[in-house]
């Protein structure tokens, strides 16, 4: 692609500022609702892809995983969505099983340490 002239860059920037203002992209409330633009986009993706995983949402929106997680938690707190674990999510069960094993192991180690006290 050929180098852009300064006038073209200026025109594109002017358009971007106008468009951003017109659609309210930087407003605290999008379209007069209590949602911001990123929240509205995420909510739309959840509604149109339900059920959906966080990974799919992150890829679809090119959104930082931490930011996505905070928005999802906010949605859940507001009652907009309900998170559920998939039955086939082995990581969740495996993690819980491991956590239980670690807890029992730690308790045993603690009891063993008391014998030396």
Predicted pLDDT at 31:
76
- CATH domain 17-84 topology: Arc Repressor Mutant, subunit A (1.10.10)
Using 70 as the pLDDT threshold, list the residues of the chain that sit under it.
Answer: 1-2, 88-101, 105-117
Q: Is the dihedral of CA 52, 56, 53, 78 positive or negative?
A: negative
Predicted pLDDT at 101:
67
Predicted pLDDT at 93:
55
Predicted pLDDT at 11:
93
What b/e string do you get for 33-63 counting C-beta neighbours within 10 Å, with b at 16 or more? eebbbebebbbebbeeeeeeeeeebbeebeb
């Amino acid at each position: 692609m050929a180098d852009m002239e300064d006038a073209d860059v200026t025109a594109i920037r002017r358009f971007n500022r106008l468009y951003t203002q017109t659609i309210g992209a930087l407003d605290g409330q999008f379209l007069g609702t209590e949602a911001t633009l990123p929240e509205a986009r995420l909510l739309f993706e959840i509604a149109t892809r339900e059920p959906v995983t966080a990974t799919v949402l992150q890829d679809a929106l090119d959104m930082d995983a931490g930011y996505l997680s905070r928005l999802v938690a906010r949605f859940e707190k507001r009652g907009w969505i309900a998170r559920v674990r998939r039955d086939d999510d082995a990581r969740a069960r495996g993690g819980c099983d491991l956590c239980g094993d670690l807890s029992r192991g730690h308790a045993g180690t603690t009891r063993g340490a008391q014998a030396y006290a």
